[in-house]
Amino acid sequence: MDNRQVFLATAATFEAPVHRVPMDAWDRPGLGSWTVRALVGHTSRALTTVVEYLHRPSAAIDRATAAHYFAACHRAGEDANAGIAERGMKAGDALGDYPAHYVSALVVKVREALDGVDDPVIHTAMGGMRLGEYLATRTFELTVHSSDIATAVGLPLELPREAIAQSVQIAAYAGVLNGQGLALVRRLTGRDGSTLTVL
């Protein structure tokens, strides 16, 4: 599967936990300062920004890969994080009375927006990128936050294996770019006392 196929498959998977959120759970704690509603709203921006950025061409590539995008996000610091939190709350409000229907409509909209589009250079929040690499960042967001939503509400979750593999690779390379590569290796191999050991 290429980046576009993985993104669209993960977007479809994102719908499942949203449709199973109980009506009385939307105001429960979701993640950090976000309620479940704000968390879903933030996650839905992984879809809306694709549609938005398709109309914002860029003349230059500033972020070569999805990992470079997230490394730049990490370096942007606390001010950027505050903006993300606020946009998440606003996106949560925009879900309206029927959040699941809103999300399903977004999945259809982004699929239609990508139909017939090649791989243009678009202007993102972190500068110019190839569309395919930006879609990989959206797959990462959908993967991580679908997991957050399922955890917050106590729901089972199945994600495409390709999305999980891609997200692990992006996170690992972003860590390397930010000077944390060795710390990641030590954690994954249990050298820092972590119980997480993959080898």
pLDDT tens-digit readout, 42-69? 999 999 999 999 999 999 999 999 999 9
Mean pLDDT of 91-117: 96
- What pLDDT score does 79 carry? 61
- What span, in angstroms and rounded, lies between the C-alpha atoms of 20 and 69? 32
Q: What percent of the chain has pLDDT over 90?
A: 86
pLDDT given for residue 2 in this prediction: 96
**Which burial class, exposed, middle or buried, applies to 158 when counting CB atoms under 10 A from its CB (0-12, 13-18, 19+)?**
exposed
Band of pLDDT at residue 196, cut at 50, 70 and 90:
confident
pLDDT of residue 197: 72
pLDDT in tens, 136-194: 999 999 999 999 999 999 999 999 999 999 999 999 999 999 999 999 999 988 888 77
CA nearest to 4, candidates 135, 169, 164, 110:
135
Q: What confidence tier does 199 reach under pLDDT thresholds 50, 70, 90?
A: low
CA distances from 93 to 36, 86, 96, 98 (A): 11, 11, 6, 11
Domains of the chain from N-terminus onward: 3-159 (1.20.120.450)
Comparing C-alpha atoms, which of 177, 173, 155 is closest to residue 165?
Answer: 173
Rounded Cα distance between 111 and 123, Å, is 19
The rounded Cα 132 to chain-centroid distance in angstroms is 14
| Neighbour-count burial for 84-112, b at 16+ CB within 10 Å, e otherwise | eeeebbebbeebeeebbebbbebbeebee
Task: Enter the pTM of the model.
Answer: 0.94
Where does the pLDDT of residue 195 fall: very low under 50, low under 70, confident under 90, or very high at 90 and above? Answer: confident
pLDDT score, position 78 = 55
Does residue 100 surpass a pLDDT of 90? Answer: yes
Q: What pLDDT does 74 receive?
A: 85
Give the model's pLDDT for residue 80: 63
Local structure of 178: helix, strand or coil: coil
